[in-house]
Amino acid sequence: MSEQKNDLFEQFMEEIPAVIGIHDDEERIVYMNSIANSFFTKENAVGLLLCDLLPKETADKAAQLLKEAKRNGHAKMIIEAEDLKNNTRHIFKALAFTIKDKEQNVQIGTIYVDITKQQENIHEILKLQYILDSSPVSILITDIDGNMEYVNPFFSETTGYSLEEVIGKNPKILKSDFHPDEDYKELWEDISNGEVWNGTFKNIKKNGEEYWESAIIAPVKNSYGKITNYIGIKQEITQHVYLKAELQQKEEERAQNFEKTLESFVAIVEDRDAYTGGHSQRVATYSKMIAQEMGCSLDECELIYRAGILHDIGKISTPDNILLKPDKLSELEYKLIKRHVEVSYTILNTIPMYKEIADIVLCHHERYDAKGYPRGLGGDEIPLLSQIMIVADAFDAMTTNRIYKVGKNINEAMQELREQSSKQFHPEVVESAIKVLGHVELVSNINQLPVTELEKERFAYFYRDQITDAYNSKYLNNILNQNVIKKEFICVNTIYMHNFSTYNEKHGWAKGDLFLKKFAEGLIEKFPLSFIFRIHGDDFVVIGKSHTDIVLDDLMQQEIFKESGITLSYKHVDLRQNNINNLHELETVILKHN
């Protein structure tokens, strides 16, 4: 059996389009799949250190990854490596993590995913990593005998058992003896026959506390169709059980809890981006309204509502740097984000109860003129409920504010629907949509500006000045443009730094950058409720929702100004008296007032 497992392991690892490695506690290579061969200088890597095989710069980075994983249990970084056979440079997203076998021997697993060409597999790996680490449900993986090999952090939080405590043990450690043996027999027969099982359990936590949980358990098969593992997704439902006569409504609760699990993944997607927050709910509501107007049955109306809630679940596979990008997507980025439709379909189509929803969702980016995606369907080839969702989804996109543009009003949206009738949209659907959506109350409080520290850090990827940690002029243009409509900000102060070029010439660029960084840190600390921007190299803008007094003497009290020769001046502009769309207009107003 051991040799067979090793053979399956080898086959599995060779099929993965990534460099997979295992190192012992001394960082020597225990295993490397064949994809790594073109990056090594020796044919047989087993038993060697990375410094024996790779150029020093690459080896040092990889060694740092291993050390950090040993210290923290996991690590990740970006590593560049040269394909020595093809003389090309590759950029890898490197992940490392400590693992233990049944004898508790510590090894280090590594995954190097080539992101140079943004291969499709990177999305699946990131999705899996994100779901396992952040999922608000318990996830466990067992071998074919039912012995646990992995549990996620939420499982440990729920049950009180750590990963180390459950490795090699059966989930029966949670068994409360509340359920008859027939229930477990049925479960085992289902999953052993390759079927997905779902149900509810009354279990016991490590501290003896009883709790109820819903569970979905499914087989994992290799390329030969043979079951190699089982995966369980479990959600605690104790409060629901004790509030209602849950045993009499068991089937209904199963469906509800499973749908809540999927909706939690949708919530994860929407939580990543302020724009998408509430989008799925609005699309579901608009779709149902249009379907009712078109005379669809009650079942069809409920079906399209549920499809609307889940239609963007596939965006869980979209990387943050694409999903959160506040500007126009590149051609490649657009191709990548379009994949969310097929991912949504795959997720939903694997569950029999959601197959009808999956078919609706698959077509919600098609066009009546056959210029949509993913299949290029047109006209009546597109299912009617999908035609309805296409209009509902587009209407919400038209009328929702984004950071780089203000949403259309009702009249403007209605006009666009008319213009795209028989092009992007089915003409009969447009006619019904105009009737029912013409008087909806639009959501106007969606704000993509960062508020929490987490949101600010996400925006830093696009808008943070790399030297000072202040924001850049591109972000300032976006804020000023939105403020013309929203009127959130009232005060702008532009702070000018004089003699900075002389300081740079005297002390060098490195000290100049350090000066700018410390000055920006002082501004951020002094004006915590304002937004701070660096413009034109050595000038700064402070913009706030209330009036901010600038006292230059206070700003120049910082140690960095002593004997620097650098002085400051500033100009104030009241945004309540000036409609300013961008930095250029701000500077024009300042010059005019001078």
Give me the mean pLDDT over the 419-448 stretch: 87
Decide: pTM greater than 0.75.
no
Q: How confident is the model at residue 1 (pLDDT cuts 50, 70, 90)?
A: very low
Q: What is the pLDDT of residue 142?
A: 93
Which amino acid does the sequence have at 230?
Y
Residues 309/280, Cβ–Cβ less than 8 Å:
yes
Q: 228-253, pLDDT tens digit by residue?
A: 999 998 888 888 777 765 456 666 66
Boundaries of CATH 3.30.450.20 in the chain? 2-117, 134-247
- In what helix (H) or strand (E) does residue 155 lie, and over which residues does it extend? helix 153-159
Distance CA 139, CA 150 (A): 8
Q: How many residues does the chain have?
A: 594
Range(s) of the chain covered by CATH 1.10.3210.10:
273-437
3-class DSSP state of 60: helix
pLDDT at 6: 60
Q: Pick from 346, 213, 360: which is nearest to 291 by CA?
A: 360
The DSSP code for 248 is G
Sign, CA torsion 548/552/553/559: positive
Which single residue is written with the structure tokens 């009127």? 487
Tell me the C-alpha to C-alpha distance, in Å, between residue 16 and each of 10, 36, 107, 225. Answer: 10, 12, 20, 17
Residue 346 pLDDT > 70: yes
pLDDT at site 121 = 57
Task: Report the distance separating Cα 364 and Cα 373, nearest Å.
Answer: 9
Weakest mean pLDDT among 12-21, 153-162, 577-586: 12-21
Mean pLDDT of 545-553: 91
More confident residue, 264 or 289: 289
pLDDT on residue 203: 92
- pLDDT recorded at residue 66: 92
Q: Is 87 exposed, middle or buried (0-12, 13-18, 19+ CB in 10 A)?
A: exposed
CATH topology of domain 453-593: Alpha-Beta Plaits (3.30.70)
**Whether pLDDT at 197 is above 50:** yes
pLDDT at 276: 59
Query: Vertex 343, ends 339 and 345: CA angle to 5°?
Result: 120
Higher-pLDDT residue of 130 and 359 is 359
For 270, 400, 450, 488, the CA distances from 460, given in Å and listed in that order, are: 19, 23, 10, 21
CATH homologous superfamily for 2-117? Answer: PAS domain (3.30.450.20)
Q: How many CA atoms lie within 13 A of 353 on its CB side?
A: 12
Q: Are 201 and 247 in contact (CB under 8 A)?
A: no
Is residue 496 within 8 A of residue 545, CB to CB? The reply is no
The structure tokens listed for 321 are 């740097």
Where along the chain do the CATH 3.30.70.270 domains lie?
Answer: 453-593
Give the residue-averaged pLDDT of 264-272.
69
Tell me the mean pLDDT in the region 390-414.
Answer: 85
pLDDT of the residue at 418 = 95
- Where are the alpha helices (H) located in 420-549, listed in sequence order? 427-437, 453-463, 473-486, 500-507, 509-526
Residue 263 Cα distances to 284, 403, 472, 487, angstroms: 13, 26, 36, 35
* pLDDT tens digit sequence for 447-480: 555 566 666 566 656 788 889 989 988 888 888 8
Q: What is the pLDDT of residue 527?
A: 93
pLDDT at 49 over 70: yes
CA dist 427 → 359, 366, 412, 417 (Å): 21, 14, 18, 9
Could you name the CATH architecture of 134-247? Answer: 2-Layer Sandwich (3.30)
pLDDT above 80 for 104: no
Q: Which residues contact 108 (CB under 8 A, 6 or more apart)?
A: 22, 23, 24, 25, 27, 66, 69, 70, 96, 97, 98, 99
For the four alpha carbons of 69, 75, 79 and 83, in that order, the dihedral sign comes to positive
Which of 50-59, 263-272, 382-391, 417-426 bottoms out in mean pLDDT, i.e. has the lowest? 263-272
In CATH, the architecture of 273-437 is: Orthogonal Bundle (1.10)
Average pLDDT rounded to a whole number, residues 111-117: 84
Contact 359, 265 (CB under 8 A): no
Average pLDDT of the chain, as a whole number: 85
Q: Report percent pLDDT > 70 for the chain.
A: 86
